[in-house]
Amino acid sequence: MDHLIEVQNLKKYFKTPRGMLHAVDDVSFTIEKGKTLGVVGESGCGKSTLGRVIIRLLDATEGHIYFKGTDIAGERHTRKLRQHMQIIFQDPFSSLNPRMSVSEIIAEPLKIHGVCKSRRAVEEKVRELMETVGLAERLANAYPHELDGGRRQRIGIARALALDPQFIVCDEPVSALDVSIQAQILNLMQDLQEERGFAYLFITHDLSVVKHISDQIMVMYLGMVVEKAETQELFDRTLHPYTKALLAAIPEPNIRRVRKQELLRGEITSPIDPKPSCRFAARCPYGEEICFSETPPLEEVLPGHYAACHRVREINGLESGRDEDGTSVSI
């Protein structure tokens, strides 16, 4: 199957007074047309930077980004890519121009790229996009400060859809919204994906949200991928200690059910000029000498299930052919 997006060994470093900050470090993955890759991890792990590098809002330090087989990492003329690759920003208020009305914000990409040949065509397209995302026509002349968070985010989605892109980076698009509004926006995004075949890179720190919308999940920690698998596989058979801790932090609605706690202790490793090691080692309850001296590779531990941990087989009972709850597995 052809990949719509293929990322190989992508790196993004930032120069600081103390050295090079490794925001994204050797990340690789693929996304098929009509599929969603969820990227999860705590704040500062490089999720948003990864998304911005892929759509060329930031230049990559090293690595390759293939869009429909064409390497765009070194592409200087990025304007033509904007019709195919868009982003929905995290904050639905700061990402909108407060001096422009709803219709002007949605029409802006249409005018910049010359998609519509007349003013009437622009107005018709804006009305169509507002209807698609559930914005009432009466709001066309309203300004962002007059609307609630849900409507503002719908404006951001309409703007992203204006050029009929094939790939959309969703940078925590529901984190600033109330829970009831989150569900509306997520359902809207899934309906649009089914209708138009978008591929999503869905960035979030909320595993409950990413389970609902993603086909695959990639877990990041301090710029590196520590686990990657199909969504249900990752939740059914979590391998990496960091992912286990993230899952343990999800609130349990059933008060009669006791969930095993995975408490993280220790200091977070500095992402500035990190030495070869597992970056999670200082907080990992299973850390050993090798974890502090060698960087673990991201390897296929189970079919289609990847993890970067020196002791992943040992701590999950895979060396003996059984996982931690005694279920037989294929090695």
Give the model's confidence band at 330: pLDDT under 50 very low, under 70 low, under 90 confident, else very high. very low
The DSSP string of 80-124 is: GGGGTEEEE-S-TTTTS-TTS-HHHHHHHHHHHTT-SSSHHHHHH
Neighbours of 85 (CB within 10 A): 25
Q: Which amino acid is at 78?
A: T
pLDDT at 322: 46
Of the ranges 74-88, 199-213, 220-234, 306-320, which one carries the lowest mean pLDDT score? 74-88
pLDDT tens-digit series, residues 176-205:
777 778 888 888 889 989 998 899 999 998
pLDDT at 77: 62
CA torsion sign for 82, 85, 90, 96 is positive
Give the model's confidence band at 255: pLDDT under 50 very low, under 70 low, under 90 confident, else very high. low
Give the model's confidence band at 267: pLDDT under 50 very low, under 70 low, under 90 confident, else very high. confident
Q: Are 57 and 171 in contact (CB under 8 A)?
A: no
pLDDT at 158: 92
pLDDT at 331: 38
* CA-closest candidate to residue 202, choices 161, 165, 173: 173
Q: Does residue 312 register a pLDDT over 90?
A: yes
Q: Does residue 324 register a pLDDT over 60?
A: no
Give the model's confidence band at 261: pLDDT under 50 very low, under 70 low, under 90 confident, else very high. low
Q: Does residue 320 register a pLDDT over 60?
A: no
pLDDT at 182: 82
Q: Does residue 263 register a pLDDT over 80?
A: no
Q: Are 18 and 274 in contact (CB under 8 A)?
A: no
pLDDT at 326: 46
pLDDT at 253: 67
